[in-house]
Structure 1
């Protein structure tokens, strides 16, 4: 059986396959952005692909964003531009995750035990 890398959503703490989550990265220059390739250099954190987790992670205002788990996980100095860009990205996401993907039950990856 092939190893499937697992990551934890910083908002809901669900453990999922890395490809099922979206990576947010703090670049070496200090910018916070969405890493669509999953390969950008910098410190990363993961969020589920649903609007609820994103709203929980980034908050409703730049002030809440500054105190969020996402900013803490990235060890970043937040700015309003990053909050606006992440909020805009979150608006494109569905309200709930697709829980019918193979190997997923109740939104959590099923892992076989040896």
Structure 2
């Protein structure tokens, strides 16, 4: 979360500096990014109570159903998935955390050390 906040502040400062240089600089700087948003899983922030160390998220269709799930690995080698939940508005929401498992039911672990 602190990384997201710091990145948002950095991008905001860079945007302010580019805006002060005029239209040519604005055209040269390329696309603008939207403000960062907190990723939520269920009703809580993604890493609110999960205690993941250096979570690394990616969107990937783990179960082959055509919908991308949020897959998060951490420094300890844990691999979790969060099922995408359909919503009526344009927001993206994810369900509760589940371990990514092999076909035999064993947890997938990817040690980093």
> TM-score, structure 1 length as denominator?
0.26
The structure, 1 or 2, with the larger RCO (C-alpha pairs under 8 Å, 6+ apart) is 1
> TM-score, structure 2 length as denominator?
0.26
Tell me which structure has the larger Cα radius of gyration. Answer: 2
Higher helix share: 1
